[in-house]
Chains A and B, each alone.
Chain A
Amino acid sequence: MSTRPAHWGDPELSKFDPLPRIMAYDKFSDGMRGYTALVGNYEYTLDNVLPGFRDMNQPMLSNGSHWETGTHGALSGTYALKIASRPRPRSVNMALKRMTFRKACPIQIEAYFAIKPEATELLLSDLDVGAFGLVLDLQDNERRIMPHVRYLNALGGERQQKWQYKSVLEMPHEVGGDASTGETRSHHHFGADGWVDVPGGAQELCYNEVPTKYNWHYFKLGFDLASMSFTHLQCNDRVFDVSTLEPMRMGAWPNLNCMLNVCWTIESDSNKRAFLYLDSVLVSGDWADA
């Protein structure tokens, strides 16, 4: 007789495949759950925020209300976390949850998501969303490690529909202008350059015909905090080979030890706002305290 995992009997968790310990389960019909906006680092004035961070603002709780159908709702309830770009090509927004880890162990980030453009045209509009992605921002006592994966939907109006990762470093900049103290830096790590295709990473998602219909997709990323390497990348029925994927690796930055930030991005490819909707996110790990 097969043994079913205990969480299969829980209607909230049954659709996930968590590691033994749940670090955060965030169903956004319960609220914002600690997800917030990213502000680019700065000293003295917000004018010193690097340009790639200036479009960023607060995520919102969305019930997905549209002009022709009314409220769409989410998968697990009425509300999803909505991250919106500005209405211009390559505008990026990010929402993140800031945590730390107790032990360097395998972790997983699972989510149910949808991506859509703003419904400003009565057309298919499936190439208006540029990309969405997940960045982990991690640091142990010696290294800062930043795994980046994204689904590149369109680039310059051309269909792409593939998963990518980024491991090349972006140059850090001081952020105090002429009076920089040298204590705070910023790097535009999710910028447009340096992305590499995941081997076999082509995938067509369920766009579903018009901008106002969402179909919720499953996403899972696995990462080992001990070896600081990818262990899993999955979207719906596709599990990708992560053996060649590399995170960004750099020396430790000051005051970031044991950091575990879960950062979701959305990027437009057109003059329409691009939206990433997250129904729920589950972060789990496999550890025992020594």
Chain B
Amino acid sequence: MRESISAVVARNDVWEGVAASEPYEVAWASEAVIFLRNLASTGTPETARAWVQISPDGLHWTDEGTLLAIPREGDLTSVRIRGFGAYLRVMTVLPEGSSFKALLTFSLKE
């Protein structure tokens, strides 16, 4: 049996300006589907993009290369990634006056 975890990394967190999810350790996993829901919006956050970052230590981050659309209020977006090392997060930079309540889920599999 392969271990699997759906980790809700951000639950109703308000993302505005420069925003990033909390560091999440994924060294045991070989694949991830990242789901992002927008529970409530101010302005137009969907005009920005989020992107995936990876880290060897949870402190220093580099772009993994995958972009993730920010959904409109009530919607859901996703990306699939593999081979991401020890730590994973999602970050974004939102336009001034735009924010949203993020529900970010990493569906990870061994």
Q: Chain A interface (Cβ within 8 Å of chain B)? A: 31-32, 37, 39, 46-47, 49, 54, 56-58, 60-63, 65-67, 71, 78-79, 82, 84, 86, 118-120, 273
Contact = CB atoms under 8 A, between A and B. Distances in A.
A47 to B, nearest CB: 7
A79 B3 CA distance: 13
- State the 7 A-B residue pairs at the shortest beta-carbon distance, nearest first: A67-B57, A58-B7, A46-B12, A65-B86, A60-B25, A62-B25, A31-B3
A65 B87 contact: yes
B25 A61 contact: yes
Contacts of B18: none
A127 B27 CA distance: 28
Contacts of A58: 5, 7-9, 24
Contact count band on B: 20 to 34
A31 B29 CA distance: 11
Interface of B: 3, 5, 7-12, 22-28, 39, 56-60, 86-87, 101
A179 B24 CA distance: 36
Given A57-B10, A58-B8, A63-B86, A82 B59 contact: no
A29 to B, nearest CB: 9
9 contacts: A46-B101, A60-B7, A65-B56, A65-B57, A65-B58, A65-B86, A67-B56, A82-B25, A118-B58
A86 B57 CA distance: 17
- Counting chain A CB atoms within 10 Å of each CB, which of B5, B56, B58, B86 scores highest? B58
A57 B22 contact: yes
Contact of A39 (B10, B11, B87): B11
B8 A37 contact: yes
B39 A46 contact: yes
B27 A63 contact: yes
A135 B12 CA distance: 25
Contacts of B59: 67, 118-120
A31 B1 CA distance: 11
A119 B56 CA distance: 13
Contacts of A56: 11
Given A57-B22, A63-B27, A49 B12 contact: yes
A176 to B, nearest CB: 16
B12 A47 contact: yes
